[in-house]
């Protein structure tokens, strides 16, 4: 066990797989889009679009140029970390007790990564501080997706239809919608002639799909600054994300790794720290629309 817990070791592949599986279960973006591992140094994705339609050519007729547009999107992983102090009794505990602590740490870390992923990619904020991150810059939906529909609590269904129309008018597809609890609550309460139109949303349920459209409900969608209530669009094809396979895990025995002013040895503690490298890219902002409060 000591070898596995030495400083700078990586999480085992099995633990990494379990962690990412849990992230998919808590992140709206992970639920609605496809994930693929990305290189540590990032990767460049290209969107390739044909500018014209196919051309009918008569026998011996002249062919004309159709044109194509190639746009690169660079996906660079961002390092995020989480650490926690535990009693140094961890070092002397039995293997079974250490494994239980590591399982709990892994579960908690997965939840934090999932929530943080949404907050970073939806809103461009540092999850811990709640402030805009210069590292993320404008690589987030609030900045890049300028197509918006004004939220109406009285008719949220009309909001969705209007947002879908905006995306489709821009020649995009809609494969999913992420909504906050306020928006799902408005849909759940929508009635026509006294009949609820979306009973599957009753009592705060998260059904996974509505009218054949993938849906995820998550409080991470809302941001107090821009007041997003829902984001919809082509998450399957026009949003890509991934993580570096190597996820470092450390058991730190000395010093003050969290800058708290408390020496680990002085307080009989060790510090557990995990890091993950996440990257994402919005391939085509016109393929998305946001429903925002005025």
How do residues 274-287 score in pLDDT, each as one tens digit? 988 899 999 999 99
Name the average pLDDT for the chain: 86
| pLDDT number for residue 107 | 85
Please determine, for residue 70, whether its predicted confidence score (pLDDT) is greater than 70. no
Please determine, for residue 23, whether its predicted confidence score (pLDDT) is greater than 90. no
d(CA 120, CA 117): 5
Dihedral, CA of residue 252, residue 77, residue 115 and residue 131, to nearest 10: 90
How do residues 95-119 score in pLDDT, each as one tens digit? 888 888 888 888 888 889 999 999 9
Instruction: Label residue 134 by pLDDT band (50, 70, 90).
Output: very high
d(CA 14, CA 99): 13
Return the structure tokens found at 266: 């002085």
Q: What is the mean pLDDT of residues 80-89?
A: 91
| pLDDT number for residue 225 | 92
Please determine, for residue 9, whether its predicted confidence score (pLDDT) is greater than 80. no
| pLDDT number for residue 210 | 96
Instruction: Label residue 3 by pLDDT band (50, 70, 90).
Output: very low
Instruction: List beta partners, residue 52.
Output: none
d(CA 26, CA 215): 13
- What's the predicted TM-score (pTM) here? 0.83
| pLDDT number for residue 1 | 35
Please determine, for residue 75, whether its predicted confidence score (pLDDT) is greater than 90. no
How do residues 160-181 score in pLDDT, each as one tens digit? 999 999 999 999 999 999 999 9
Q: What is the mean pLDDT of residues 65-74?
A: 63
CA dihedral for 191, 195, 196, 198, sign (positive or negative): negative
d(CA 44, CA 75): 6
**Portion of the chain with pLDDT greater than 90, in percent:** 62
If you count DSSP H runs as helices and E runs as strands, how many of each does the chain have, helices first?
A: 8, 15
Q: Kindly report the three-state secondary structure assignment for every residue of 148-201.
A: EEECCCCCHHHHHHHHHHHHHHCCCCCCEEEECHHHHHHHHCCEECCEECCHHH
Please determine, for residue 47, whether its predicted confidence score (pLDDT) is greater than 70. no
Contact (CB, 8 A) for 86 and 269: yes
Give, in order, the Cα–Cα distances in Å from 148 to each of 63, 121, 122, 130, 258: 40, 17, 14, 23, 40
Strands 195-196 and 191-192, sheet pairing: antiparallel
CATH 3.40.50 fits 13-47+71-292, yes or no: no
| pLDDT number for residue 69 | 57
How do residues 178-212 score in pLDDT, each as one tens digit? 999 999 999 999 999 999 999 999 999 999 999 99
d(CA 18, CA 5): 18
| pLDDT number for residue 4 | 40
């Amino acid at each position: 066990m000591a070898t596995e817990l030495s400083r700078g070791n990586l999480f085992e592949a099995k633990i990494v797989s379990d962690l990412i599986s849990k992230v998919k279960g808590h992140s709206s973006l992970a639920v609605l889009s496809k994930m693929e591992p990305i290189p540590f140094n990032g990767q460049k994705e290209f969107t390739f679009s044909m500018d014209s339609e196919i051309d009918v050519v008569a026998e011996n007729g002249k062919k004309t140029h159709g044109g194509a547009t190639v746009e690169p999107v660079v996906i660079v992983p961002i390092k995020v970390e989480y650490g926690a102090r535990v009693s140094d009794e961890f070092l002397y505990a039995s293997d079974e007790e250490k494994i239980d602590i590591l399982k709990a740490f892994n579960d908690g870390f997965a939840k934090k990564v999932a929530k943080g992923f949404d907050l970073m990619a939806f809103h461009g904020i540092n999850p811990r501080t709640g402030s805009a991150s210069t590292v993320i810059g404008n690589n987030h939906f609030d900045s890049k997706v300028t197509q918006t529909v004004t939220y109406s609590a009285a008719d949220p269904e009309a909001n969705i239809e209007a947002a879908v129309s905006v995306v489709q008018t821009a020649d995009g597809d809609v494969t999913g919608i992420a909504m906050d609890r306020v928006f799902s609550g408005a849909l759940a309460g929508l009635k026509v002639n006294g009949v609820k139109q979306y009973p599957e949303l009753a009592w705060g349920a998260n059904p996974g799909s509505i009218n054949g459209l993938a849906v995820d409900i998550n409080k991470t969608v809302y941001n107090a600054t821009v007041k997003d209530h829902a984001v919809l669009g082509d998450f399957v094809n026009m949003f890509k994300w991934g993580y570096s396979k190597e996820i470092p895990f450390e058991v730190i025995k000395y010093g003050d790794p969290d800058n708290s002013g408390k020496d680990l040895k002085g307080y009989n503690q060790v510090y557990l720290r995990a890091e993950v490298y996440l990257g994402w890219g919005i391939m085509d902002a016109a393929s998305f629309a946001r429903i925002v409060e005025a």
